[in-house]
Amino acid sequence: MDIYYTKDHEWVKVEGRRGIMGISAYAVKQLGDITYVELPEVGKEITKSGVVCTVESVKAASDIYAPVTGKVTEANSVLESAPEKLNESPEDEGWIAKLEISSPDDVNDLMTPDKYKEFLKSLE
Amino acid sequence: MKAMGTAMKLTPLYGEHKKLGVRFAPFGGWYMPISYEGIIAEHSACRKSAAVFDICHMGEFLFTGDAAELDNAVTQNISGLAEGKSRYGFILNDSGGIEDDLIIFRKAENEFMIVVNAATLENDYEILKKRLRKGDLSDISAETAKIDLQGPLSRDVLKEALGLDIGLKYFNFGYFDILGEKALISRTGYTGELGYEIFINSEHAVELWNKLLGDVRVKPAGLGARDILRLEMGYSLYGHDIDAQTSPDEAGLDMFVNYDKDFFGKSALRVRKGKGATKTKIAFQTEGRRSPRSHYRILSGGKDIGEVTSGVFSPVFSCGIGLGFVTPGFDKKGAVITISDGKNVELKGKITEIPFLKKTSLRN
């Protein structure tokens, strides 16, 4: 599976037309303790850069944007009762949604892990 | 951190915070630590063990003069205050609104320390300078560091980390030997736990901070945790729950106004009460883990009845809690309300009472 990042710090792991998305370790660190995740509904159509769902931390509510266009096929219901999983394992167990991707080309303008690392450095 | 302009002030502990890898944010003109390890862990340290806070941004004035002068300037009774005790109250404006909330410490018959908020410091100083016709008012904020140690174990920490045996009661203070000076330690705080506010020369701030953190039971805590801690107790935050447009009565804080004496703003409060309040303070609790937030609307049966002034997710209750103002008549305890962000967030809630958190170590 290839992994890509957005400038808004979402990640998406892609295999053909199947994808999994979440938010990056950097994003989670910026948000602080996460207290609530409003999961997207299964079947929800998402548009690249459109809002997928909302994550709330002790500091603020933040919209999470779609890295690609497609449809939500599964949401990580573990986060409903244990939103802290997002802090503990943002890029693995803390995934937010599984997706069916409309166009695999959508990832072309996203960042590879190396590019994303460079991008994070530029934010410091 | 684009917001950080050249005018942002730094506390003497700024360098220590940086070493601890803190997250900073602007607060009242200062660049302040928001959280270190994480807001929830810091909150928990304060409720269960002890936490230390950098509160150097707050202002301190020294007033040498007659207590009667202060009686006239603020809402609390100062001439009746014993030496070694402090009292919470307000500076009011000429329409009875709260210019600031403050604590006044009686150090001696004619000597007082006044502790004010950071963002309102200059305004407070100007007002007090005018109202205190006799006596001498000076701003000692720069040379005074304020470090708060709060939590059920804070008394033990002061004993073991600093060798101090502190038997103070709530809202009492004394002078104790710390790092070669007589520091003022007050048994007050903003967390609802047993705790102390330590006023020490700014030059000693770093050493004291590190001494306290040298005790494994103590964690550094930022303004993020402090906000949750104070809200669980229902304490008001200036600029949010109280402001220049709000009277103590409307804010549910009339017990900090002494009507048996004359003070600036008293006649305005009378007029205001005569007309009837336009808003009433409420405390509320919401269902679920989603947090109510400042400026969200408060609805009752679909009707807009008011606005949230403070809201957080409470780790103690695992739900949202908050304060707000509603139209008088809609403040009945137990009443069902909806908190809305005007878009897609709608939280079910009910009006309750403060403190939200009833059992703490505050009076241990």
Q: Could you read off the pLDDT tens digit of each residue along chain B, which spans 364 residues? A: 334 445 789 999 999 999 998 989 999 899 999 999 999 999 999 999 999 999 999 999 999 999 999 999 999 999 999 999 999 999 999 999 999 999 999 999 999 999 999 999 999 999 999 999 999 999 999 999 999 999 999 999 999 999 999 999 999 999 999 999 999 999 999 999 999 999 999 999 999 999 999 999 999 999 999 999 999 999 999 999 999 999 999 999 999 999 999 999 999 999 999 999 999 999 999 999 999 999 999 999 999 999 999 999 999 999 999 999 999 999 999 999 999 999 889 999 999 999 999 999 999 9
Task: Return phi, psi of residue B9, to 5°.
Answer: -90, 150
Q: How far is A17 from chain B (nearest CA, A)?
A: 30
**Is residue A104 helix, strand or coil?**
helix
Which segments of chain A have a pLDDT < 50?
none
> How many Å separate Cα B324 from the centre of its chain?
17
Number of domains in chain A: 1
Contact B169, B177 (CB under 8 A): no
Q: How far is B262 from chain A (nearest CA, A)?
A: 42
Contact B281, B325 (CB under 8 A): yes
Inter-chain CB proximity B290 and A59 less than 8 Å: no
Distances (CA, A) of A84 to A33, A55, B37: 7, 11, 14
Chain A residues near residue B41 by CB distance under 8 angstroms: 33
**A87 and chain B in contact, CB less than 8 A:** yes
Q: Give the residues across from A12 on adjacent strands.
A: A4, A21
Q: How far is A54 from chain B (nearest CA, A)?
A: 10
B52: amino acid identity, one letter = V
Please give the residue of chain A at the shortest CA–CA distance from B288: A36
**A56 and chain B in contact, CB less than 8 A:** yes
Structural domain containing residue A80? 2-123
CATH number, position A59: 2.40.50.100
Q: Give the residues across from A99 on adjacent strands.
A: A19, A72
Chain B residues near residue A38 by CB distance under 8 angstroms: 290
In three state form, how does the secondary structure of chain B look? CCCCCCCCECCCCHHHHHHCCCEEEEECCEEEEEECCCHHHHHHHHHHCEEEEECCCCEEEEEECCHHHHHHHCCCCCCCCCCCEEEEEEEECCCCCEEEEEEEEEEECCEEEEEECCCCHHHHHHHHHHHCCCCEEEECCCCEEEEEEECCCHHHHHHHHHCCCCCCCCCEEEEEEECCEEEEEECCCCCCCCEEEEEEEHHHHHHHHHHHHCCCCEEECCHHHHHHHHHHHCCCCECCCECCCCCCCCCCCHHHCCCCCCCCCHHHHHHHHHHCCCCEEEEEEECCCCCCCCCCEEEECCEEEEEEEEEEEECCCCEEEEEEEECCCCCCCCCEEEEECCCCCEEEEEEECCCCCCCCCCCC
CA dihedral sign of residues B361, B197, B214, A26: positive
Per-residue pLDDT, B4: 44
Chain A residues near residue B313 by CB distance under 8 angstroms: 35-36, 56, 58
Per-residue pLDDT, B1: 34
**A104 and chain B in contact, CB less than 8 A:** no
**A38 and chain B in contact, CB less than 8 A:** yes
Q: How far is B286 from chain A (nearest CA, A)?
A: 13
**Residues A105, A68: Cα–Cα separation, whole Å:** 9
> How many A×B Cβ pairs under 8 Å?
40
Residue of B313, B341, B343 to mutate when probing chain A, most A C-beta within 10 A: B313
**Residues B129, B114: Cα–Cα separation, whole Å:** 13
For residue B35 the two structure tokens come to: 């959280």
Chain A residues near residue B312 by CB distance under 8 angstroms: 58
For residue B361 the two structure tokens come to: 């170590």
Q: How far is A113 from chain B (nearest CA, A)?
A: 24
Question: Which among B290, B313, B345 has the least Cβ separation from residue A58?
Answer: B313
Chain A residues near residue B23 by CB distance under 8 angstroms: 32
Inter-chain CB proximity B224 and A61 less than 8 Å: no
Per-residue pLDDT, B6: 54
Residue B289: HSE in the Cβ half-sphere, 13 Å Cα cutoff: 20
Inter-chain CB proximity A33 and B34 less than 8 Å: no
pLDDT, one tens digit per residue, over A33-55 is 999 999 999 999 999 999 999 99
Inter-chain CB proximity A61 and B291 less than 8 Å: yes
Contact B38, A32 (CB under 8 A): yes
Contact B312, B321 (CB under 8 A): yes
Chain A residues near residue B293 by CB distance under 8 angstroms: 60-61
**Is residue A97 helix, strand or coil?**
strand
- The b-or-e profile of B283-296 (16+ CB within 10 A means b, else e) is bbbbeebbbbbbeb
Inter-chain CB proximity B313 and A59 less than 8 Å: no
Question: Which among A32, A35, A87 has the least Cβ separation from residue B291?
Answer: A35
Domains of chain B: 14-58+142-233 (3.30.1360.120), 59-139 (3.30.70.1400), 279-364 (2.40.30.110)
Other C-beta atoms within 10 Å of B66: how many?
A: 17
**A2 and chain B in contact, CB less than 8 A:** no
Per-residue pLDDT, B3: 41
Inter-chain CB proximity A58 and B345 less than 8 Å: no
Inter-chain CB proximity A35 and B289 less than 8 Å: yes
Contact B310, B322 (CB under 8 A): yes
Per-residue pLDDT, A1: 82
